[in-house]
Chain A
Amino acid sequence: MPAKTSPGQPAYKLIGQNYATPDLVAKVTGRAKYAEDYRAEGMLFAKLLLSPMPHAHVRNIDASEALAMPGVKAILTVDDLPAPADAMTDLGQVIPANKLAERGLTNDPVYQGEPILAVCAVDEYTCAEAIERIRIDYERLPHAVDPLVTLRPGTANARVEGNVWVRPVAAAPGPGQPPPPPPAPAVQELKWTDADFAEAKDGQLPMGKATDEWTYGDWQAGLKNADLVLDETFVTPNTSHQTLETRTAMAYWQNGKVFVHCSTQSTSQTVPALARWLHMDASDVVVISEYTGGGFGSKITSSIQAIIPALLSKKTGAPVMMRVSREEEHYIGKARPSIHGRLKVGFTKDGRITAVDMFVICDSGPYDPQGDANQAGRQLSLMYQPPAMRWRGLSVLTNTPPRVSQSQPGGFQGIVLMEPILSKASRKLGIDQVAIHRINAPEGKALIGPAVGGKRQYVTSAFIKEALDKGHAAFRWDERKAQPKRSGTKARGIGVATSCFVGGSVGFDGLFIIKPDGRLYIQSGIGNLGTESVSDCHRVTAEVLGVPWDKCEITWGHTGRNLPWTCPSGGSQTTHAMTRAAYVAAMDAKDKLQQIAAKDLGGKPEDYDVGGERVFHKGGGASMSLAQAAKRAVELGGIYDGHELPKGINKFTVASANALSGQGLLAVARDTMPRDGLTHSYVAGFAEVEVDLETGKYQILDYLAVADVGTVIHPRALGGQILGRSMLGIGHAIGQKWVYDQHYGLPLAKRFHHLKPPTILDAPEKMAWDAVGIPDPETPIGARGIGEPPVGAGCMAILNALSDALGDDVFRRAPVLADTILASLEAGRPMEEGLTAHI
C-alpha cells in the first residue's frame, strides 16, 4: 500500500516506497545465521539446571558425580559470576547496583525454573545426563504467586525482604549540583488489612495502601460533577514474550576480547550491557547478531544469561554454545506483567471524560520493579485526555518468572483497563463508540502525565482524530452498525479502540562513508529484530543525498565492524531516533561535499547542492561526482575523511570512526536537533466479531488498524509492524496467558501449546492497515516509531466488538475464551473469577 502523504509533504523518491531489504534473501533462503547457527572448532555445549521450587535456598550442591563423567568439562554457579556492577551515567554519576536484581544464576531461586547452575560438556546429551546426577539440597521457603493474595495479612512474601517495591527518596542535590541518580529500589513488606479486602464487593478490586501516587487537577470534583460515573475492575494477563528465536548464545575469547553471538534487539547497545555484566571494558566486548527472531522488549540488550556461555568459555578455554529450549525460554525469556486495575471514570452526557481515579497492582515478578504500573496511568492520561486524574499503584513481587517491558509496556495495560469503560459508557450514554473515542482523543501538543518540575509535559503531535475518521470511513462503520446483531445461533458486534505509546528518542549518532567508488557505505548499529528499521532508517541518507538505493551498502549486526552509537531498539524509538541520526549524518556529508566542491571548483559552499550522485553548482556548470569528492576527501584528510572528528559524538562512535578514517568521505554527526515535546505514536483499531452463542466461540471477521506514525518510511515494513503488533494484542484478547497451580506455585502452561500464542489461522479473516501520513512537526523527516501502539488497539478493538455483540458483564478480564463467554451466557452474569491470578 503506497504511503499516504498529506499536502505540503515533499514528494520523496525513496521514503515512502517499498523496496527489497538487504536481509531478505538470506532470511528466505535460510542462509541467515542466528545465534544457534554458529559453530566453532572445539565448541562445547552448556545446559541449565533449573530450580524445581518457587522459592528456596540452596544449602549444598553436590556435582561430584557429574564432574567425574568423561565429557563434562565444567559447571558454573552464581559464585562464578561477577557481582552486580554499579553503572555510570554520562555525567559521571554512579548508579548503584541493584543487589536484588537478576544475575543469571542463583543459589536463592525466586521462581520455579530459575537457573541455578550451568553444566558444560561435549554435547547436550552428556549435559543432560550430568544434570541428572547433580544432587542439590534445597531449603524450601514459602512462596507467593498471586499479587493480591500476598497483600493479605498473614500471607507469604515472594522474597525474604518483602513483597512490594518502594523507591527510597533521593537525597536533595547540593547547591549547583545536578540531581543525583535515583537510589536503587528496595523491597519491603506491605500487607493490607482485612477491612481493605472486605470493602470490595462482587469482583471489585480492593484498594488498600498504595506505594506510589500522582495526581493532577481536581479529580474529586470531576467525578462529583459527572453525569455518569463508572467504577470498573479489569485484569490483564501475564503473557510471555515467546519470541520465535529463544535467547541462545554462543561465546568465545580471542586475545582478551569476548565475542558473543547472541539474540538481541539492539546491536550497539548490547556492548555496554555485556560489559557491565562481565565487569569488562566495552572495547573488549564484540557482539554479533545479524538476525534476531523477535524480541518484543525481552531482548533490548540481549539478556543476562548470555554471560553464561561467555564465562564457561573462559573457564574451559573453548567456545561454548548454550541453546535455550522453549521451556527454558518460558522461564528466562521474560513476560509482560499482569495488572489488576480499578478505574472510576466520570463522563459528561456527551461522553467527555471529566476525571479518572485509577488504582493498579502490577505483578512485577521477583526481580526489578516494573514501570508498567506507572506507564499504564501515564499513557491513559494521554490517550483519553482526562482533565483531572489520580493514579495510585503498587509493584508487587511474586515467585514467578521475571518480567520486563513487552511491546507497549504499561501503556497496553492502561488501554485495556480503560477501553471497556469507554465501551460501556458509549452504550449507557447512547453515544457511538467512534464518537466517544474522538471526543476524548488528544490532538496537537496534547498533555501527558502529571506535572514534572511544576509543569505537565506534552507530546510533539497527535493525529489520532484523523486516524479515527479515516478508519471510520474505510471500515464502513455506519453500514456495519446498521446491521442486525443476531441471526441463528450467532451474534455480531463491532468495536473500535485507540492506543498510543512513546514513539521516538533523540541524541544518537549517524556514520557512513562515501568511498572513491561512488557508493555509500552505511554503518548501522540498529538491531535486526525483524522490524526492518536496520535498513529503513538509512533510506533517509540516500534520499537526502539523492543517491539511488542500489548504490548503498549497509553493514550491520557485528560491533567489530565499526558501528555508531545507536539507540536501543525498544520503546518504538528507532525509526524516529535513527532517521534523525541518518539525517544529520547525511547533512554532514552534504556540508563536506559542498566544502570540497567550493575548494576545488570555486565559489562558496552554499553555492553548491547535492543530487544525482553529484555535487553541483546551483547556477549550473561545475560539478563533481561523489566518487571524485570521496577521493578528494581522502587527499584532504582532516575533517573530510574522519581523521578529525566533531565534538559531542559518543565514544563508541569515535572508536568506529577512527577505524574507518582515511577510506573516503566520512560523514559522522550526533543528532542535536531540537524537539519540542515527547514523541508518541497512535493507532485506531476497528474490528467486527461473530460469536456462536451456543459454544462461546468467536471469530474475528474483519480488522483494520489506522496508524498515526508521522511520515511513512517503508510501507510494507510499516504494514508488517501494524498488523504484526495488532496480532500481539489480539493474542492477549483471544487466548494468551499464564496458568499457575497456586498451591505449589508452579506453572502449568510452559510451552506454546498451553500458552496459546495466536497462529496464522487465528488471524482475522480480513486484515488491513492504513496510515495517516502527516509528518510529525518536531523531527525533520517527520517519522515516528510504530512497534507498540498497535498492541492495545488490536486487543481492545476485538474485546470492544465482543461486548458490543454480547452486552456488558460477560467478561471482566483478558483474554476472553469460549468458556468465559459460554459460562456467562448460561448464568446471565460473569462467572469467571475476576481477581484470581494465573487462571
Chain B
Amino acid sequence: MAIVRDIMPAFELFQPATVDDALRLLAQHGADAWVLAGGLDSFDWLKDRIKRPKVVIDLSQVAELRGVREVGGGLEIGAMTTLTEVVRHPVVKAKFSILSTGAESAASPQIRNQGTLGGNVSQDARCWYYRGGWKCYRAGGNICFADTPTAINREHAILGADRCVAVNPSDSAPALIALEAQMVIRNTQGERVVNAEDYFIGPAIDIMRMTVLKPGDLLTAIRIPATWAGAQFYFEKVRDRAVWDFPLLNVASAMVVTGGNIERIRIAVNAAAARPLRLTAVEDAVRGKPRNASTGEMGGKLAVAGAEPLRYNGYKIPLMRNLVKRAISGVEEAKWA
C-alpha cells in the first residue's frame, strides 16, 4: 500500500451535545474512537493518514465542557476552554498568572484561539520519527529510531528514558503541576480525580500513552485549588523561534517566600522527559532555605542529577540546570545604559 499524506481519510463523525452523550459514544466505540478537541494534535495524525480511527467524536458542541468557573477560591476550567480564554481570564491572570503565562507561550495566537487546555495537557509527543509515521515503540512497534547512533535527537529526553526518548511537549502541564491542579476524568462508570503530576505516564509503564486516559475516558475539567493563589510564580519556555515551536525545555514554579526564605515551593519542568517532571527532590532540598542565587544553583544541579544525554541533546542539561535555578532564585537582570 503506497503512502500518501495530507488528505483527510474517511471516518464516522459524531458531534454530541452533552458530556453524557459523549461518554456513551466513547463506551460504545472503545478503542475505535478518537476524541477531537481543538484538533491541533488530531488533524496532524488524521490528515497524514497515520492514525485511522473508525469514529471521531468531536467535542466542539459540548457547551458544558467550556468555561472557567470560580470554585472555593480556586478555579474549575472546562477541558474544552480555549487557551486564549484561559490566558485572558481575569481571575487566572490575577491569582494564577503562571497558567496564563504558560498557556500563552504555547504555539501561536491562532492556535491558541482554537486549541483547548484539555487538549494541550493531553497532547501526544512530537518526536519527528513518531509523528512521521515511523513504527516505533510508541506507535506499537519494537524500536526507537531516536535513540540510535545516527539519530537526530536534539529535542528528545535527558531523563526518564525507557526505550522511548520522546518528550512531553505541553507548556500548560508544568504550570498546572506547579498549581497543584487536579484532572477530572469521567467515563460511563463514574468520575475520578487525578493529581496533575500523576496524570502523565512514562514509557517504562506504558510506552504507547502519554496520559492515564484509557479508551472510554474523557477529561472533563481541570481544577485549580486556592493553595497557590497569588504565590510568586516563575515560568520560562526556551524554544527555537519566537512562536510556533514546542519547548526545548520549560520550567514552572510556584513559591511562597517568607522573611527571605522559601516557605513552600513546587517546581515542574517539561520537555526533559516523556512526562512533565515534578522536581520533588529539589523542592525538598530548597524548602526552608533562603531564596538566593546559591540556593538556586544548588537546586539546579540537583535537578539534573542522573540526566543522560543523547548525541544531540546534551545542551538540555545546562539548560535545565539554569532554568531550575531561575525558577528558584530568579534571573539576574541586565542593566544596559
A and B touch in the complex (CB under 8 A): yes
Q: Which of A127, A694, A748, A753 lies in contact with B132, CB distance below 8 A? A: A748
Secondary structure class of chain B's binding surface, majority of residues:
loop
A489 within 8 Å of B by Cβ? yes
Cβ of A552 under 8 Å from chain B? no
Interface residues of B in 111-132 (CB under 8 A from A): 128-129, 132
User: Are the C-beta atoms of B315 and A487 separated by less than 8 Å?
Assistant: no
Whether A325 and B5, one on each chain, are in contact in the complex, defined by CB atoms closer than 8 angstroms, is: yes
Evaluate whether A52 and B148 lie within 8 angstroms (CB atoms) in the complex, with A761-B243, A819-B154 already known: no
Q: Which of B205-213, B275-283, B284-292, B327-335 contacts A (4 or more CB under 8 A)?
A: B327-335
> Do residues A488 and B334 form an inter-chain contact, with CB atoms below 8 A?
yes
Encode contact with B along A315-327: 1 for CB under 8 Å, 0 otherwise: 0000000000111
Q: Is A823 an interface residue (CB 8 A)?
A: yes
Contact between chains at A127 and B322 (CB < 8 Å): no
B266 beta carbon closer than 8 Å to chain A? no
**In the complex, chain A residues whose CB is within 8 Å of the CB of B314:** 823, 831
> Scoring B residues 151 to 173 as 1 if CB is less than 8 Å from chain A, else 0, what string do you get?
11010000000000000000000
A695 near B: Cβ within 8 Å?
A: yes
The listed residue (A50, A133, A748, A759) touching B152 by CB distance below 8 A is A748
Q: Which of B6, B332, B335 contacts A327 (CB 8 A)?
A: B6
A128 touches B322 (CB 8 A): no
Q: Would you give the shortest CB distance from A834 to chain B, in whole angstroms?
A: 14
Chain A residues numbered 781-839 whose CB sits less than 8 Å from any CB in chain B: 817-820, 822-823, 825-826, 831, 839
Q: Are A822 and B1 neighbours in the complex by a CB distance under 8 Å?
A: no
Q: A5 to chain B: closest CB distance in Å?
A: 37
Q: How far, in angstroms, from A100 to B332 measured CA to CA in the complex? A: 59
Residues in chain A near residue B7, CB distance under 8 A? 47, 124-125, 127-128
- Does A762 reach chain B (CB closer than 8 Å)? yes
Taking CB as reference atom, which chain A residue is nearest B151?
A: A741
Residues of B within 8 A of A740 (CB): 152
Residues of A near B243 (CB, < 8 A) are 759, 761-762
Determine the chain A residues whose CB is within 8 A of the CB of B319 once the complex forms. 695-696, 818-819, 822
Q: A134-B2, A748-B129 are in contact. Are A839 and B312 (CB under 8 A)?
A: yes
8 Å CB interface, B302-337 against A: 312-319, 322-323, 325-326, 331-337
Contact check, B334 vs A489: say whether CB atoms are below 8 A apart.
yes
Are B315 and A822 neighbours in the complex by a CB distance under 8 Å? Answer: yes
The residue that A492 contacts in the complex, of B150, B322, B336, with Cβ under 8 A, is B336
Residue B244 is within 8 A (CB to CB) of chain A in the complex:
yes
**B250 shortest CB reach to chain A, Å:** 11
Contact status B244-A488, CB under 8 Å: no
Contacts of B242 in A (CB 8 A): 759, 761-762
Q: Is the CB of A128 within 8 A of B4?
A: yes
- Report the separation of the CA atoms of residues A752 and B316 in the bound assembly, to the nearest whole angstrom: 23
Beta-carbon contact of B152 and A741 below 8 Å? yes
Interface core residue of A484, A695, A762, A818 (most chain B CB under 10 Å): A695
Judge whether A132 is part of the interface by a CB distance below 8 angstroms. yes
Task: Decide if A358 is an interface residue (CB 8 Å cutoff).
Answer: no
Q: Nearest Cβ distance between residue A406 and chain B, in whole angstroms?
A: 20
Report the interface size for chain B: residues with CB under 8 A from the other chain. 48
* Chain A residues within 8 Å of B312, by CB: 819, 839
Complex alpha-carbon distance, A489 and B312, angstroms: 24
**Inter-chain contacts of A750 with B (CB < 8 A):** 132
Q: Which residues of A contact B154 (CB under 8 A)?
A: 819
A131 touches B241 (CB 8 A): no
A766 contacts the other chain (CB 8 A)? no
Chain A, residue nearest B108 (CB): A759
| Closest CB in chain A relative to B144 CB, distance in Å | 12
Roughly how many angstroms separate A807 CA and B87 CA in the complex, as a whole number? 40
The 8 Å CB contact of A695, one of B1, B238, B336, is B238
- Minimum CB–CB distance from B115 to chain A (whole Å) comes to 14
CA distance A541 to B63 in the complex (A): 63
A695 touches B4 (CB 8 A): no
The answer on a CB contact under 8 Å between A823 and B315 is: yes
**In this assembly, does A743 line the interface, its C-beta being within 8 Å of a C-beta of chain B?**
yes
Taking CB atoms and an 8 Å cut-off, the chain B residues in 18-62 that contact chain A are 49
Query: Which chain B residues lie closer than 8 Å to A131 at the CB level?
Result: 2-4
* Interchain CB contact (< 8 A) of B318 among A327, A488, A741, A826: A826
Cα distance A538–B129 when bound, in Å?
51
With CB as the reference atom, state the residue of chain A lying closest to B243.
A761
B109 nearest in chain A by CB position: A761
A483 part of interface (Cβ distance < 8 Å): yes
- Across the interface, name the chain A residue whose C-beta is closest to B128: A748
Q: How far, in whole Å, are A694 and B326 apart by their CA atoms in the complex?
A: 9
Q: Residue A749 at the B interface, CB < 8 A?
A: yes
- Chain A residues, CB < 8 A from B12: none
Q: Which of A489, A748, A759, A823 contacts B331 (CB 8 A)?
A: A489
With beta carbons under 8 angstroms apart, the residue of B151, B315, B323 that contacts A826 is B315
Bound-complex Cα distance A325 to B332 (A): 46
CB contact between B244 and one of A697, A749, A759 (< 8 Å): that residue = A759
* Interface presence of B191 (CB below 8 A): no
| Bound CA–CA A50/B326 (angstroms) | 48
Hey, which chain A residues are within 8 Å of B322, CB to CB? Answer: 694-695
A488 pairs with B332, CB closer than 8 A: yes
Asked if A483 contacts B337 (CB within 8 A), the reply is yes
Nearest opposing residue in chain B for A759, CB measure: B243
- The answer to whether A697 touches B238 (Cβ under 8 A) is yes
CA distance A752 to B240 in the complex (A): 13
Say which residue of A47, A127, A133, A488 sits within 8 Å of B333 (CB atoms): A488
Answer yes or no: B145 CB below 8 A from chain A CBs. Answer: yes
Instruction: Give the docked Cα–Cα distance between A819 and B152 (Å).
Output: 13
Q: How far is the CA of A753 from the CA of B245 in the complex (A)?
A: 7
Task: Decide if B2 touches A136 in the complex (CB within 8 Å).
Answer: yes
Tell me if A754 is interfacial: C-beta within 8 Å of chain B.
yes
Say if the beta carbon of B79 comes within 8 Å of chain A. Answer: no
Task: Kindly report which residue of chain B lies nearest to residue A754, judged by CB atoms.
Answer: B128
Binary B-proximity of A33-73 (CB < 8 A = 1, otherwise 0): 00000000000000101101000000000000000000000
Min CB gap A700→B, angstroms: 11
Nearest A residue to B127, CB-CB: A748
Q: Is B248 an interface position by the 8 A CB rule?
A: yes
Residues on B with C-beta less than 8 A from A819 are 154, 248, 312-313, 315-316, 319
Q: Which residues of A contact B5 (CB under 8 A)?
A: 325, 327
Which A residue's beta carbon lies closest to that of B309?
Answer: A823
Closest to B332 in A: A488
Interface string of A475-510 (1 = CB under 8 A from B): 000000001100111101000000000000000000
Measured between alpha carbons, how far is A759 from B316 in the docked complex, in Å?
A: 24
Contacts of B3 in A (CB 8 A): 50, 52, 131-132
**Given A741-B129, A818-B238, A823-B314, residue A487 in contact with residue B6 (CB < 8 A):** no
Whether A133 touches B1, Cβ cut-off 8 Å, given contacts A743-B148, A759-B243, A819-B315, is yes
B9 at the interface (CB under 8 A from A): yes
CB neighbors of A among B215-269 (8 A)? 236, 238, 240-245, 248
> Contact at A818–B315, with CB atoms within 8 Å?
yes
Complex Cα distance, B150 from A125, in Å, reads: 37
Asked if A756 and B128 sit within 8 Å, CB to CB, the answer is no
Bound CA–CA A388/B152 (angstroms): 41
Chain B residues, CB < 8 A from A325: 5-6
| A135→B1 contact, CB < 8 A | yes
Residue in B closest to A735 when the chains form the complex, CB atoms: B240
Residue of B148, B315, B333 most packed against chain A (CB within 10 A): B315
Report chain B residues within 8 Å CB of A767: none
* A-B CB contact pairs (8 Å), 10 listed: A47-B4, A135-B2, A325-B6, A487-B334, A694-B322, A739-B152, A759-B244, A761-B243, A819-B315, A823-B315
* A interface, CB within 8 angstroms of B: 47, 49-50, 52, 124-125, 127-128, 131-136, 325-328, 483-484, 487-490, 492, 690, 694-697, 734-735, 739-743, 746, 748-750, 752-754, 756, 758-759, 761-762, 817-820, 822-823, 825-826, 831, 839
Top 10 nearest A-B pairs by Cβ distance?
A488-B334, A128-B7, A761-B242, A487-B334, A694-B322, A490-B334, A819-B315, A325-B6, A823-B315, A131-B4
- 7 additional A-B pairs beyond A132-B3, A135-B2, A484-B337, beta carbons within 8 Å, are A326-B6, A328-B6, A695-B319, A695-B323, A759-B243, A817-B240, A826-B317
